[in-house]
Amino acid sequence: MDYIRKFDIELEKEHYYAGETLNGQIVVENIENIRVRGIKVFLRGKAHVEWKIMRSGERRTVKEDQYFIEDKQSVWGKEHNDHDDKSNPILHRGDHKFPFSFTLPESALPCSFESKIGTIRYYLRVTIDIPYYSPPQGLKYFTIIGPHIDCMDERYLTALTAEDKLTTCCFCCNKGPVVLKATLDRSGYCCGENIKLKAEVQNGSGNKVWLMVRLIQYVEYFINKGVLGLSKEIHHRVWEYKSDLVPAHHTTKFDDINTKLQVPVMPPTLIDVCKVIQIYYILRVSLGRDKAGEDLEIDFPMTIATVPFRIPNAPMPELKYEHGVDTAEGGMYISPEFQLGQVYDGTESGDETVLYRPVYACVPHEKITVTNVPNCHEVCQHRDREQSEESESNGDAIKMSEIPKNSKIGTACHKTDPCSSTAKV
């Protein structure tokens, strides 16, 4: 509308935790008097997943939503619709500010998250109800930092130790075993912290070997409606580290490898908080060998927390809030609706205006470039898992894939990686 010159939603800050109070104001500048029924603010938190499938030769879109917050508030005018337009109050021309306040739920809220297949978004929607006109609407997105996961929780402080062994032979002559031992000091880490990993390689073979460490992110999406149930899994190699060579018939200890391994800024672990999106992480320790691939492999479960490790009775470390890295879901994708189009002015400009990107909690840190192996940014695997139920007349019944909650990876794990080998503990 031409007579509304400014319409904006302002918040005290851009990120919040569960249980906090969200304070803000609506800013309106109008150059004419307007008869307005009311101005309302809607608060919503919502997870959404969507992708396409082939069924009976047709390409269909499947999707599902989950709501975490639904609230509204009237900040000016009438509480309820009244068709008597003459009784509607007049918003006089000028600058106006309408404050509002919401208390976020104390329950566990999943983190804000953006990916091509699924999103978790929190936003405010404001409508100005003007008789006989389409109501002007404004949207304001903000970030939720969650769920509450503390690195000091006892279950994350237990050290995990695992070992894998391979005996190589040629013409029935034993060349000697190759042994990989690894210890993860704790399994919970906040973004920006270094990973407390130690490893030992006993190379009894006649070939050189090297230590490989990978941080892998798994994201699972679920749709479960009636007889139709689908799941989709994607995992990314966030980074990969390769050590110097370990000579034949030689033992090397990697006691200071933690100085080279850092948790980048990315979404925290999300298990049993959101029914349509789950996120978990694996630290994979393996040996590389020429012409033999990677025969020895150990997987440790890693929990990405929102509250950092600290010395007991010490004050809480200062936290920063940054965008996720572009090698993990949550940081690699920006929705087109948040990218502001620009007019070409004849000059080369690499800058783009992004209206919204979620941020994640991290400790202050100097960023370490862990990746020293090419092609680490590629998607490791993109897999759809679909299992048939009892066939129905149309033959389209699908059910959800079951995901084991107990496994023998390392010494404990929330999830099982279907593509990984079980470590010998």
Residue 288: strand pairing partners = 210
With tokens 């929780």, the residue in question is: 153
The reported pLDDT for the residue numbered 14 is 95
The 3-state secondary structure of the chain, one letter per residue: CCCEEEEEEEECCCEECCCCEEEEEEEEEECCCEECCEEEEEEEEEEEEEEEEEECCEEEEEEEEEEEEEEEEEEEECCCCCCCHHHCCEECCEEEEEEEEEECCCCCCCCCEECCCEEEEEEEEEEEECCCCCCCEEEEEEEECCCCCECCCHHHHCCEEEEEEEEEEECCEEEEEEEEEEEECCCEEEECCECCEEEEEEECCCCCEEEEEEEEEEEEEEEEECCEEEEEEEEEEEEEEEEEEECCCEEEEECCHHHHCECCCCCCCECCCCCCEEEEEEEEEEEEECCCECCCEEEEEEEEECECCCCCCCCCCCCEEEECCCCCCCCCCCCHHHEECCCCCCCCCCCCEECCCCEEEECCCCCCCCCCCCCCCCEEEEEEECEECCCCCCCCCEECCCCCCCCCCCCCCCCCCCCCCCCEC
| Preceding omega of 147 cis (within 30 degrees of 0) | yes
User: Quick one: CA dihedral 183, 186, 190, 194, positive or negative?
Assistant: negative
Per CATH, 4-144 and 154-399 having the same topology is answered yes
CA 166 to chain centre: 36
Among the listed residues 111, 400, 46, 52, the one whose alpha carbon sits nearest the alpha carbon of residue 279 = 111
**Inter-residue contact 266 to 191 (CB < 8 Å):** yes
Q: How far apart are CA 234 and CA 220, in angstroms?
A: 7
Quote the pTM value.
0.83
Mean pLDDT per 10-residue section of the chain, whose length is 425 residues: 87 96 95 90 97 88 94 83 66 94 95 96 94 87 96 95 82 73 97 96 91 97 81 95 93 94 97 96 92 81 96 86 95 88 54 86 88 45 40 33 36 37 32
Contacts 24+ apart (CB under 8 A), 75-78: 75/26, 75/39, 75/40, 75/41, 75/99, 75/100, 76/36, 76/38, 76/39, 77/36, 77/37, 77/38, 77/39, 77/129, 78/37, 78/38
- Tell me which amino acid residue 6 is: K
**Inter-residue contact 307 to 189 (CB < 8 Å):** no
Given CATH 3.40.1350.10, say whether it is the number of domain 154-399: no
**Inter-residue contact 241 to 212 (CB < 8 Å):** yes
- Tell me which amino acid residue 122 is: Y
Given CATH 2.60.40.640, say whether it is the number of domain 4-144: yes
The reported pLDDT for the residue numbered 403 is 34
Among the listed residues 8, 7, 27, 4, the one whose alpha carbon sits nearest the alpha carbon of residue 96 = 27
**Inter-residue contact 112 to 121 (CB < 8 Å):** yes
The reported pLDDT for the residue numbered 394 is 36
The reported pLDDT for the residue numbered 57 is 85
Q: How far apart are CA 124 and CA 101, in angstroms?
A: 11
Instruction: Report the chain's mean pLDDT, rounded to a whole number.
Output: 83
**Inter-residue contact 28 to 128 (CB < 8 Å):** yes
Q: How far apart are CA 12 and CA 15, in angstroms?
A: 9
The reported pLDDT for the residue numbered 224 is 86
What are the boundaries of each domain within the chain? Answer: 4-144, 154-399
Q: How far apart are CA 102 and CA 9, in angstroms?
A: 14
The reported pLDDT for the residue numbered 342 is 54
